[in-house]
Amino acid sequence: MTPGHNQDSVVGVVGLGYVGLPLAVALAEAGLQVIGVDVDQRKVDALAAGESYIEDISSERLRSVSRRLNASKRYADLSVAGTVVIAVPTPLNRNREPDLGPLLASGRALATVLVRGQLIVLESTTYPGTTREQLAPLLEESGLAAGRDFALAFSPERIDPGRTDFTMRNTPKIVGGLTDACRQRAVAFYSQICDEIVEVSTPEAAELAKLLENVFRSVNIALVNELAMLGDRMGIDIWEVVDAASSKPYGFMSFEPGPGLGGHCLPVDPFYLAWKAREYDVPTEFIELAGEVNQKMPFFCVEKITRALNDHSKPVRGSRIAIIGVAYKGGVGDLRESPALRIMALLDSLGADLVYHDPYVPELPEHDLRSQSLASALEGADAAVIVTRHPDLDIDQIITSAPLIIDFRGATRGIAARHVVRL
């Protein structure tokens, strides 16, 4: 199950999005020849032109490895790779159930070019059992046996878009293999780009570890979101409460409320685990309840906007509302599952006149809107709604220019002003 020397220096990455592209660049920077495969021709063309579409990877950095990173739509190109990493999306369907379509399609396509001795690693977040029960049988349609003729492992991605203090190099990497030999192959592979490898006994342990990481955040954010809704009824500032509780030096970890969860992981992963748990007759009520609380937050935020406008003798219909920040988190232009989009859709259905300011998101075609400068967005606005706080956001300008401010990110915490309403 050991590939030839030339194969060892060639790596394939399937899926060149927020996870796959940073991985491909890191591998190329480590001196490996990388073959990237993606079904999106626009991504392939952009990479060929040396133009990055991911904030974490600058075009300059991408061009610096252009001789060692080649992208195409052809799975056949992967037959020369010693290792192939799958990093495709694993979204939810309309019923909030796991949609493994992209992953299964990748597995079927890879089976047609799989060669003896290759290492296949799945990085896409998914429920426990996916690597063994879903991916392995698809790959074995090649006629090769997982764990004997090729190695198979799961190693969950730990990409946090926009973050610079923890990188692929200094973030510990979890690895679980189908067999001990599979795990050892994967450990040797990732040791080229990661300083610390955390070995676990099975792919299932690695899959569940990833879900635990994200469910932990989802549950704790849901707790503080629920307290925010309670504080709203009781007239208690949740931001003051969180800051005060955070002064305890032990036994407490601070989480902040917000307008809802965004990105791929937190809004999605709890439902992957809950869906799989039902197969074992173990209802994950606590986890599912947290998901429901977080999903309600955009609706609660719109209700709060409506009440704030009403207190200023303004209806939602016809009011000019400036949405400040539409990406799901500060410092990036990622719109995946962004609560701002749901808030804007709800306000639009109520007849609001919407404008938005987000230097990271130039346009929102579904709303037929383009980002305006902060001054232009605030001009004539009846209310400014802070949904995402990007770095260098001029809070003072918002405070002085907007007649009403509804702040869902605590950007105005500590500021006492009658026209400021906080979550």
Q: List the catalytic residues.
A: 265
HSE at residue 213, side-chain half, CA atoms within 13 A, is 17
HSE at residue 153, side-chain half, CA atoms within 13 A, is 30
Measured at the CA of 271, the angle between CA 265 and CA 274, to 5 degrees, comes to 135
Q: Are 200 and 206 in contact (CB under 8 A)?
A: yes
Rounded to whole angstroms, the Cα distance separating 379 from 407 reads 18
What radius of gyration do the chain's Cα atoms show? Answer: 23
Q: Which of 225, 256, 259 is nearest to 406 (CA)?
A: 259
Q: Are 34 and 46 in contact (CB under 8 A)?
A: no
HEC assignment per residue over 162-185: CCCCCCCCCCCEEEEECCHHHHHH
Rounded to whole angstroms, the Cα distance separating 327 from 343 reads 12
Rounded to whole angstroms, the Cα distance separating 19 from 315 reads 43
The residues that bridge with 420 in the sheet, in sequence order, are: 405
Q: Which of 187, 141, 168, 140 is nearest to 30 (CA)?
A: 168
Measured at the CA of 136, the angle between CA 133 and CA 141, to 5 degrees, comes to 120
